[in-house]
């Protein structure tokens, strides 16, 4: 369980995260949604100790992120920021190997190697493992980074906009993998998503943010509703249900006018 308790974060005069209290439940996919500048990425950074908070505290398994040893925390929580600007020439296998750094500090043991092999196989990267990252397509590269996180073998996996710049096919591929991480490996995934329909189709829980605050938090059932989404995004949604999956229509021209 990751708990944020009254956390705030300011960047100069703007308050990115404003007194947020939220609990991330174990063994579920939780999506953070909301308009640009709502504070989703900042909240994710605070929960993973990437950025220090100004007020409040974040507890991972009941212990403040400030009191965790950073190596120990790196075996508990993994965070992946947007990676498409990365320019290092590393092979996929080397990158995945770095996921074992919190365990071995660089000298990979046999057990580490097995983890690396498993992660590569799990993400179906066997044929690509000796390729350089800059030779891969966006989707393949994202898979390589997720393989690194799989090798890192943390209970919690936090992802900042993992679908950014991916086409539909690769987006679906990534979301399916995340679903498997939760269902098969018992992990807990928290991610920032912009596409409301991906959030609706693959999440268990949704945290909706606006102006640095959490405006709604609950199961997909509770959040994917016309009134709630209207509040979050200030726009109209038509919600339809297919096969017990809720799909939001929001891009039709006649809907953009507030009713």
Partner 1 sequence: MPLDKRNAVQLTALAAVLLTLSFISLFVGVSSISPRDIFDLSPLQKQILSITRVPRLLSAVMAGASLAIAGTIMQQLTRNKFVSPTTAGTMDAARLGVLAGLIVFPGASLLQKTAVAFAFALAGTYVFIRIVERVKIKNTIFIPLVGLMFGNIVSSVTTSVAYRFDLLQSLATWLHGDFSMILRGRYEMLYVGVPLMAVAYVYADRFTIAGMGDSFAANLGLNYRRVVNVGLFIVAAVSSAVVLTVGSLPFLGLVVPNIVTIYRGDNVRKNLPHTALLGAALVVGCDVIGRIIIHPYEVSVGLIMGVLGSAVFLFLLLRGNARGARGGVGA
161 contact partners, CB below 8 Å, separation of at least 6:
41, 82, 191, 192, 193, 194
Task: Find the distance separating the first CA and the last CA of the chain, reported in whole Å.
Answer: 39
Q: How many CA atoms lie within 13 A of 203 on its CB side?
A: 31
Task: Please count the other Cβ atoms lying within 10 Å of the Cβ belonging to residue 228.
Answer: 17
The reply to whether 34 sits near partner 1 by the rule CB under 8 A is: no
Out of 9, 81, 115, 170, name the contact with partner 1 by CB under 8 A: 81
The reply to whether 114 sits near partner 1 by the rule CB under 8 A is: no
259 contact partners, CB below 8 Å, separation of at least 6:
236
The reply to whether 187 sits near partner 1 by the rule CB under 8 A is: no
Out of 16, 59, 96, 133, name the contact with partner 1 by CB under 8 A: 133
The reply to whether 12 sits near partner 1 by the rule CB under 8 A is: no
Do the Cβ atoms of 56 and 19 come closer than 8 Å? yes
Q: How near is the Cβ of 85 to partner 1 at its closest, in Å?
A: 7
The reply to whether 94 sits near partner 1 by the rule CB under 8 A is: yes
Which residue, 98 or 250, has its beta carbon nearer to partner 1?
98
The reply to whether 98 sits near partner 1 by the rule CB under 8 A is: yes
Cα angle 247, 253, 258 (rounded to 5 degrees) comes to 85
Task: Choose the stretch contacting partner 1; rule: CB under 8 A; options: 46-54, 115-123, 182-190, 215-223.
Answer: 46-54
Out of 73, 150, 190, 191, name the contact with partner 1 by CB under 8 A: 73
**CA neighbor of 21 nearest in space, from 40, 39, 5:** 5
Binding site for partner 1 (CB under 8 A): 45, 48-50, 70-75, 78-81, 85-91, 94, 98-99, 101-102, 105-106, 130, 132-134, 152
């Amino acid at each position: 369980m990751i708990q944020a308790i009254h956390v705030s974060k300011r960047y100069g005069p703007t308050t990115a995260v404003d007194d947020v209290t939220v609990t991330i439940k174990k063994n579920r996919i939780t999506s953070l949604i909301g308009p640009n500048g709502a504070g989703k990425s900042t909240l994710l950074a605070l929960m993973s100790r990437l950025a220090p908070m100004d007020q409040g505290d974040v507890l991972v398994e009941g212990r403040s992120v400030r009191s965790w040893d950073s190596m120990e925390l790196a075996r508990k929580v993994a965070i992946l920021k947007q990676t498409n600007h990365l320019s290092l020439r590393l092979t996929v296998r080397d990158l995945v190997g770095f996921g074992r750094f919190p365990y071995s500090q660089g000298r990979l043991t046999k057990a580490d190697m097995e983890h690396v092999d498993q992660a590569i196989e799990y993400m179906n990267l066997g044929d690509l493992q000796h390729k350089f990252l800059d030779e891969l397509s966006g989707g393949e590269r994202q898979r390589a980074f997720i393989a690194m996180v799989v090798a890192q073998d943390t209970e919690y996996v936090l992802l900042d906009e993992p679908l950014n710049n991916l086409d539909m096919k690769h987006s679906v591929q990534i979301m399916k993998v995340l679903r498997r991480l939760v269902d098969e490996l018992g992990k807990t995934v928290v991610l920032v998503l912009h596409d409301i329909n991906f959030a609706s189709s693959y999440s268990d829980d949704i945290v909706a943010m606006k102006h640095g605050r959490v405006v709604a938090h609950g199961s997909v059932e509770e959040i994917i509703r016309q009134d709630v989404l209207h509040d979050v995004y200030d726009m109209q949604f038509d919600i339809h249900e297919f096969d017990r999956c809720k799909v939001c229509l929001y891009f039709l021209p006649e809907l953009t006018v507030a009713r």
